Chains A and B, each alone.
Chain A
Amino acid sequence: MALKAAGAFKRLDSEDITISAESIVAPLWSTDQSVLTQFFTSSGQVASNTGNYFYEVYQSDPEIESETSYVQVDLAYGHKLGSGSAPYDTGVVGKSPTSTIYGQYRTLIYGDEDVNFVFGTYESEGIYVINAERARYKEKLFPGSLNLTLTVGSNTLELTDNSRDVTTVAFVDGGRVYDIVSGSDGLPYSGTGFTPSLGSYGKFLPDIGIIVLNADALDATTGAGGIVLGTTLTESPNNIGRLYDAVSLGASTSLKSEETISSNYIFVRVRNGEYNYSTNPSNITSSGELRWDVMINSPQAYITTVGMYNDTNDLLAVAKLSRPLLKDFTKEALVRIKLDY
């Protein structure tokens, strides 16, 4: 870096600016609690038209604590043939909110209308979906962090993604996909963690913040690996409410978000012969003479602020030191500045 004969601005070299990307992992839930144990819905939302498609789930009661209650996840039920909800038109078979949900997630995840949800080798016509709010999962879900407890009566099922058990990550149109298995913290309790004959318990898609559950596996008896969730294919069965009840009674769901923060590190290097004089009005008289004669041959200045400029001298960013840093002809300084945006 060339030393200027005089001046206040110094150019940064290319090696003075480094971009670093860091992964930040944090609990998914509002208030940063690691495990969500209480779940609430809004009766207004459930009773509205949107309640035919999904339920919004809150960490506190939105009807009591409306200021601090935030949607954490949405729950939905989908069926390939439109069963489990009233058809849009009685004369049109197979077109209902559940077929809309099924088709919506099929397009999102596979991008192919001819593909159905297959869990392991088992194809299920019914799916439950847990869709994390974007503000909660930020950029993506953190694989290995899902611990979902579902309880129906005395039956309890503990589910996790199998990201720590697989050696090869599978990809679909919606990004990475892992199976949901019986286990915890990304590992199955035994074997593959699948049901004996109904495939895996679901799909975990961290890049789009979606968890798809195999309705047939949850409906199965405990001997077949299920919890007898009781999905019903009539026109008004409240299947979403069944999943909500199971999650709520399970009272333990943990999940983490993952976000990449890009930071600019700027290294400001000041040589011994640079920046030893101050234009501060308290340091000079109105005609520019130094206030203290001792500073003519032994000037001292105090760095409090670093300004970062573009080529046209626009001040883009500033950094303040926490205390003044003495600079004179015997001292050099290196200041590392981190800018996040």
Chain B
Amino acid sequence: MGYLDNSIITVDAILTKKGRELLARGDGSFKITQFALADDEIDYTLYNPDHPLGSQYYGQAIENMPLLEAFPDETQIMKYKLTTLPRGTAKLPILDIGYTAIRLKQGASLAITPQTLNYLGSSQAFEAGGYVATIADARLMQTYNGVGINSPESEQLNFSTTFGTNVSKTVVGTSINLTATSINSLFGTQTSLQTTITVIGRDSGARITVPITIVQVNN
């Protein structure tokens, strides 16, 4: 992964692994309809409101940083989104899914109901648009779906399947249901498998990533 030439502002664009998968599927799901902005790589501790030369220099250390090229793995980019909020906002939305880590036995099920804290003047709220939940390795789930958002697009996501390698799977809902795989062959010589689930508020852009461990029980 190389650095980009930052002597002028250029844009380096690529399709993600997911984008290539949907393009190959050819069912119309590869259609760009919306965008979001992110500040991945930025370390705001470098922001210096005490800079002796004044406010024009507060962000000097950030503005001069070189940036890396884009990652094609959709779970490793667009992590920290910029969001539109009223001026004067002091607390930003954050997500709470009730777990800091998830550990499931083979075949066990779990329902996750995310909440957004500090959102639209409320200390905790359920976002009207629901939540996007992406599991990094879809093979580890026997079932994985979202409920509560009844648009055709959201429901279609529950039935989309790609066979083969460890591609991610995204579902939309106010609640996310997952059941760990019961397939032994995925484990090989290991006794547990790991992946992550990333939940993003569709309205707020707030995000949380939690590790998932699947423990083998059948031999």
Contacts and interface: CB of A to CB of B under 8 A. Distances in A.
Nearest to A285: B91
Interface in B83-111: 83-94
Contacts of A341: 15, 23
Nearest to B116: A288
B203 A6 contact: yes
Interface string A29-52: 000000000000000000000000
Interface in A273-304: 273-284, 286-292, 294, 296-297, 299-304
Contacts of B67: 304, 320-324
Interface stretch (A128-136, A242-250, A329-337): A329-337
A273 B68 CA distance: 28
B78 to A, nearest CB: 4
Size band of the B side of the interface?
35 or more
Interface stretch (B6-14, B135-143, B178-186): B6-14
Contact of A280 (B35, B44, B88, B153): B44
A312 B19 contact: no
Nearest to A273: B84
Interface string B58-83: 11001111111111001001101111
B4 to A, nearest CB: 4
Given A282-B45, A290-B92, A317 B63 contact: no
Contacts, number: 297
A299 B47 CA distance: 12
B83 A282 contact: no
B19 A10 contact: no
Contacts of A7: 83-84, 203-205
Interface string B25-63: 000011111111111111111010100000000110011
B45 A291 contact: yes
Contact of A288 (B80, B86, B117): B117
Interface of B: 4-6, 8-16, 18-19, 22-23, 29-45, 47, 49, 58-59, 62-71, 74, 77-78, 80-94, 117-120, 132, 153-154, 156-157, 170, 172, 200-207
Q: Give the 6 A-B CB pairs with smallest separation, nearest first.
A: A8-B205, A316-B19, A323-B6, A280-B80, A319-B13, A307-B78
